[in-house]
Structure 1
Amino acid sequence: MAPDLDAIDRKILAALQRDSRLTMQALADQVGLSVSPCHRRVKLLEERGVITGYIATVDQRSVGLPVSVFISIKLARQKEEDLKRFARAISGWHEVLECYLMTGNRDYLLRVVAADLAAYEIFLKTKLTRLDGIASIESSFALAQVKYSTALPV
């Protein structure tokens, strides 16, 4: 982590990652500050881009998307224009929750959610396989989620 974060900043980040709905008073109490200095630190963390936003995490099963698929993609070519074209294409697909440019045998690793196998097949046939420049697609279905966290170790 950035070396210019002190112990109080780290406490603030840890507390907000546990519960971003804390009032400023509750946050200040947890980190041992009064409200004004705590508020200033939070604003500074936001301005510096350390805190990038506040969200609600949603259980994917409760919204009818219980299937997680990890997809390895190999492109036919790894030229910058091909990488950018792929990234642009998938950036608007709501089924893709995460996408990483990788080293090794595959170029990209995607995490996709779907309602069921049929919904994934539709995604595969109507979106992914229609992209130009893909040499291979390998899908792996998650059987169970052993650990999930959005909190970074601070």
Structure 2
Amino acid sequence: MDNFDRKILQAFQENTRLTTAELGEMVGLSASACHRRLARLRKSGVIQSEIAVIDPRSIGRTVTLIVTVTLEREQSDMIAEFKRAMRENIDIMQCYYVTGAVDFIMVLTSKSMESYDAFVQRFLFANRNVRRFETFAVMDRVKVGFDLPILLDPD
């Protein structure tokens, strides 16, 4: 990956709707060169996904929660099963398997606290491998996004 790729990634993660001509103008390459580089970055997995960040309130998801989960047993099959369940649950926006005092941290949205309580009953209380969980209700979305700091290599 060279500095042109890094410049493309920086501009593209801020606005994926840029045309290759606009992108080329921003980074100093032709539109066709930008098109080839974007295709290569997608194919190699550097660009994993191109997503829209939607305000959850606009679709009735008025409550955002951060939940930490500690499992009863940390056996590889039980961890794998918990990860699978996390990936399949549409309420969970993000989930991280972490080190430290807890095993997982998840971010999810809900229509209401009552809906979240139903999620807890179905997903956490019903799972015999969940030892403990703690919920943090988000009061304000201060910063939301997936932008990464992309630094240019000094020449």
TM-score range, shorter-chain basis?
over 0.9
Tell me the equivalent position of 2:37.
41
Gap runs ≥5 in structure 2: 151-155
Tell me the equivalent position of 1:131.
127
Task: Report Cα offsets for 1:94-139 as digits up to 9, x if no partner.
Answer: 1101111111111111111111111111111122221121111111
Identity among equivalent pairs (%): 33
Q: CA deviation at 1:16?
A: 1.0
For 1:128 and 1:92, the matched residues in 2 are separated by: 14
Secondary structure, counterpart of 2:7 in structure 1:
helix
Tell me the equivalent position of 1:75.
71
Tell me the equivalent position of 2:25.
29
1:105 aligns with 2:137: no
Are 2:65 and 2:137, in contact at CA under 8 Å, matched by a contact in 1? yes
Tell me the equivalent position of 1:12.
8
Secondary structure, counterpart of 2:29 in structure 1:
coil
For 2:119 and 2:25, the matched residues in 1 are separated by: 47
Secondary structure, counterpart of 1:112 in structure 2:
strand
Secondary structure, counterpart of 1:14 in structure 2:
helix
Secondary structure, counterpart of 1:127 in structure 2:
helix
For 2:5 and 2:125, the matched residues in 1 are separated by: 45
Structure-2-length-normalised TM-score: 0.92
CA RMSD of aligned residues (A): 1.1
Tell me the amino acid that sits aligned with residue 39 of structure 2. K
Q: CA deviation at 1:70?
A: 0.9
For 1:26 and 1:64, the matched residues in 2 are separated by: 35
Residue 143 (structure 2) aligned to one of 130, 144, 147: 147
For 2:52 and 2:66, the matched residues in 1 are separated by: 23
For 1:25 and 1:146, the matched residues in 2 are separated by: 33
Structure-1-length-normalised TM-score: 0.92
For 1:103 and 1:91, the matched residues in 2 are separated by: 19
